[in-house]
């Protein structure tokens, strides 16, 4: 079934604006905002441009069934669409009805993470150049998520303490990770490259970088300061999708993802490795080296050690931890 056209959607823009306003009030990320707006718009179109207040459990269930049966979306996408629709009813309309809690959420199946060997990581890193090479080594050397690395500010790097402060990571939590000694020279060079762009913005009177939450109002000049500048700034300026201000943003993750994919292919690796694979490899290699799992949990920023335990499943049989009976038979 194709989605109906948006030709008569006179009320939709106002409703979507209300949705955006509520999402921003609750300090959800821009990506969450974009995803929720997308799925609420799809929900409205699926139901013939009828206002969601006129709809209920049957229409929501039909929409979710269509996503699963016709569109064949993944479990995570299915859950995201459901969360978006429920957010609309609960936080925009202020409704809390029994059917909302009765809707079945598709359950995620446990998947083992893709983990590269030390040699595979070395080959991939050696094929990356410039800023992308520094970023890749940072992800593997610290276990940061790609968004956490891209959002680093100059003030978050503590070379003397060999530490990196991660501000407002997943779940809004701060944490501290190591700054690898082997990465320090390249990271210092990256900071100097960023400084050149910062000086250029100062000369041109640019609007400074984006500040978190209300800090831009509380400290109007902080966004222009060197300490708040991005460690991985974009070469060009772009328009902020929320404010419309033209300013310098951090490096776009899609740019790095494409460079990483090329390096993986050139390294002859056939598994579906992504930048997040470097985080998985970081955790697995630490555990292989005998690091305590609680320490790995803190470095990764996991709330529960059970999340970190997934990497022990990789170790259970990998690298010859368990010997196959065929090997013993051949050895006889």
Ordered DSSP codes for 36-102? HHHHHHHHHHHTTT--GGG--HHHHHHHHHHHHHTS---HHHHHHHHHHHHHIIIIIS----HHHHH
Answer for the pair 66, 57: CB distance below 8 angstroms, yes or no: no
- Specify whether 237 is catalytic: no
Residue 178: the pLDDT is 95
The overall average pLDDT reported for the chain is 86
- Specify whether 311 is catalytic: yes
pLDDT per residue as tens digits for the range 52-68: 988 888 899 899 889 88
pLDDT at 127 over 80: yes
Answer for the pair 138, 184: CB distance below 8 angstroms, yes or no: no
pLDDT: which is higher, 330 or 266: 266
Answer for the pair 230, 209: CB distance below 8 angstroms, yes or no: yes
Q: Which of 170-174, 288-292, 302-306 has the lowest mean pLDDT?
A: 170-174
Give the up-direction half-sphere exposure of residue 17: CA atoms within 13 A in the CB hemisphere. 5
The continuous run of DSSP H or E covering 293 comes out as helix 293-300
Residue 74: the pLDDT is 86
- Specify whether 91 is catalytic: no
- Specify whether 298 is catalytic: no
Q: What is the model's pTM? A: 0.76
Question: Of these residues, 41, 45, 132, 145, which one is catalytic?
Answer: 145
Question: Of these residues, 91, 167, 261, 302, which one is catalytic?
Answer: 302
Question: Of these residues, 79, 91, 170, 175, which one is catalytic?
Answer: 170
Domain map (residue ranges) of the chain: 12-102, 118-315
Pairing mode, if any, of strands 233-239 and 163-166? unpaired
pLDDT at 133 over 70: yes
The pLDDT of 214-234, averaged and rounded, is 81
- Specify whether 279 is catalytic: yes
Question: Of these residues, 132, 153, 248, 279, which one is catalytic?
Answer: 279
pLDDT per residue as tens digits for the range 179-214: 999 999 999 999 999 999 999 988 888 767 887 766
Architecture of the structural domain at 12-102: Orthogonal Bundle (1.10)
Question: Of these residues, 36, 89, 140, 311, which one is catalytic?
Answer: 311
Residue 11: the pLDDT is 44
CATH code for the structural domain at 118-315: 1.10.443.10
Residue 322: the pLDDT is 66
Q: Which residues contact 299 (CB under 8 A, 6 or more apart)?
A: 142, 143, 175, 177, 178, 283, 286
pLDDT: which is higher, 11 or 40: 40
Question: Of these residues, 38, 247, 276, 298, which one is catalytic?
Answer: 276
Residue 149: the pLDDT is 96
- Specify whether 302 is catalytic: yes
For residues 203 and 75, what is the distance between their CA atoms, to the nearest angstrom? 49
The pLDDT of 164-193, averaged and rounded, is 92
DSSP per position, 5-39: PSTT-SSHHHHHHHHHHHHHHTT--HHHHHHHHHH
Answer for the pair 167, 157: CB distance below 8 angstroms, yes or no: no
The pLDDT of 147-167, averaged and rounded, is 95
């Amino acid at each position: 079934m194709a989605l109906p056209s948006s030709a008569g959607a006179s009320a939709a823009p106002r409703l979507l604006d209300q949705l955006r306003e509520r999402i921003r009030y609750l300090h959800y990320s821009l990506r969450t905002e974009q995803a929720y707006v997308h799925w609420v718009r799809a929900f409205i179109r699926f139901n013939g441009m009828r206002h969601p207040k006129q709809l209920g459990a049957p229409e929501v269930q039909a929409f979710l069934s269509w996503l699963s049966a016709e569109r064949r979306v993944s479990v995570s996408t299915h859950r995201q669409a459901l969360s978006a629709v429920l957010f609309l009813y609960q936080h925009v309309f202020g409704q809390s009805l029994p059917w909302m809690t009765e809707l079945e959420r598709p359950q995620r199946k446990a998947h083992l993470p893709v983990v590269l060997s030390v040699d595979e990581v070395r080959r991939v890193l050696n094929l990356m150049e410039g800023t992308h090479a520094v970023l890749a080594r940072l992800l593997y050397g610290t276990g940061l998520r790609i968004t956490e690395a891209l959002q680093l500010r100059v003030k978050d790097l503590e070379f003397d303490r060999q530490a990196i402060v991660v501000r407002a990571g997943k779940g809004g939590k701060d944490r501290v990770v190591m700054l690898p000694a082997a990465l320090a020279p390249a990271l210092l060079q990256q900071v100097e490259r960023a400084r050149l762009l910062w000086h250029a913005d100062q000369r041109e009177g640019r609007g400074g970088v984006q500040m978190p939450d209300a800090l831009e109002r509380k400290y109007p000049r902080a966004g222009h300061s060197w300490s708040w500048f991005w460690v991985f700034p974009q070469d060009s300026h772009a328009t902020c999708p929320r404010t419309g201000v033209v300013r310098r943003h951090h490096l776009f993750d899609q740019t790095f993802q494409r460079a990483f994919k090329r390096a993986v292919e050139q390294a002859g690796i056939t598994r579906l490795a992504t930048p997040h694979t470097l985080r998985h490899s970081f955790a697995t290699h630490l555990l292989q080296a005998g690091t305590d799992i609680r320490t790995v949990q803190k470095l990764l920023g996991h709330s529960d050690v059970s999340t970190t335990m997934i990497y022990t499943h990789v170790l259970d049989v990998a690298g010859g931890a368990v010997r196959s009976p065929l090997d013993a038979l051949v050895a006889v």
